Amino acid sequence: MGNLLDYLAWRGDLSLAQDPFNSIDALLLSSLSYVDFTNVVPAKGEGMVTMEEASKRFFELHTEEELAQDKSFINFAPSLLRALAESNRFKDAYLLNFVDDTDISREIQFAAVEIDLSDGTVFISYRGTDDRIVGWKEDFNLSYMTVPAETEADQYFREVMDGRTEKVRLGGHSKGGHLAIYAVASAPELYDKVLTIYSFDGPGFNDEAMVTDHFKRVQKKVEKFIPQTSIVGRLLTSTVEPVVVKSNELGIMQHNPLSWELEGKEFETLDFTDKLSDLFDETMTTWLDNMSFEERKVFVDELFSVFEASGCENISEMTRIGIKGTKAIITRMAQIKNDSGEKVRTLVKMFFINFNVLKDNVVKEKLEDGAKLITAGKNRK
């Protein structure tokens, strides 16, 4: 089986006229927005650059040694840019309207880029959550509020497509997929210009939003894909039934789109998500259904205060926090005395289970432990 880079090596010589746009192309372009295009792709209204030229500029600004320092799960993005730029399929695509707004104090992480393709269509790529804790908290904030990135995604879509006649596809990985759906649902006047909306392991929406006429209409154009141990993609209610994709990673690291397996121009799919993903989904759904929005806010703030206590800025760093960081997490969990305390402790344990399952017998043991935790929590209600 292959991955995204293998797909470009196998089929990158085929133009969109020879082989029309497909869902793997959408994942490629959705992942492209993880590249830091600062001083590479012009900002809104300031011109455009081809994929080939963007790649050249990017690697003039960033050395291989510098890029090798990135240990996050999105560190493949520069290699993806290079592969796209070397392919006949995408090298002449134009990149424009780049925006990047990340502010830890405002708990916002938003970036997007427009890609104009050779088939005459536009693709808007919304950046998803990398492994910075601020981005993951924003994902969980979706459970009780409209987050700043949603507002920016709506505004970006309207501004980019204002007065345009081209047909548009929108997509994103992780939170980026959520933002793509939100943008179209918030701009019904642009609905007829939209071909497809792609969400790759993106969070869902609150039930209150899902019953609105705009969301019901948008569902017809959404395609959602998740790996078998999906965590982020199972937050809240999904707009559509997702396609389950096989990953060659374990646990939460399946969130990495480079781990998703392909055969030709199709994803390698499975019939079901696995027990670990189902356990997380059942746990979160049960809790959120019984919480007010204010209670959800308290829960999310308490949960991420535990992650922040580790001293880490990135989720991936938490796999290597050592004794000092572990003690800080345990101390902070013990300090949470309100109704969120037990839920926070259970979810933190599930989080580390996701990182550390390595063998089938370990998975089974951890699942049983997790199920006991949840049952005990329910009995205490």
At position 196, the amino acid (one-letter code) is: T
> Any idea where the domains of the chain sit in the sequence?
4-271, 277-379
For residue range 175-219, list pLDDT tens digits in order: 999 999 999 999 999 999 999 999 999 999 988 888 888 888 999
Per-residue pLDDT at 355: 56
- The rounded distance, in Å, linking the Cα atoms of 200 and 129 is 11
Tokens for 183, please give them: 């943008």
**Cβ partners under 8 Å of residue 46, min gap 6:** none
For the chain, the residue count is 381
Distance from C-alpha of 189 to C-alpha of 154, rounded to nearest angstrom: 12
Closest to 245 in 3D by CA, of 286, 200, 203, 205: 200
Which residue has better confidence, 319 or 307? 307
Residue 30 in tokens: 């959705």
How many whole angstroms separate alpha carbon 188 and alpha carbon 186? 6
Quick one: CATH architecture of 4-271? 3-Layer(aba) Sandwich (3.40)
Q: What is residue 132's DSSP assignment?
A: B
What's the mean pLDDT when you consider all of the chain?
88
Helices (H) and strands (E) in the chain, counts: 15, 11
Strands 194-200 and 168-173 turn out to be parallel
Q: Mark residue 265 as left, alpha or beta (left: phi above 0; alpha: psi -120 to 50; beta: remaining).
A: alpha
pLDDT confidence bin for 353, thresholds 50/70/90? low
pLDDT tens for 44-57 read 889 999 999 999 99
- The confidence band for 319, taking pLDDT boundaries of 50, 70 and 90, is low
pLDDT at 381 exceeding the cut of 60: no
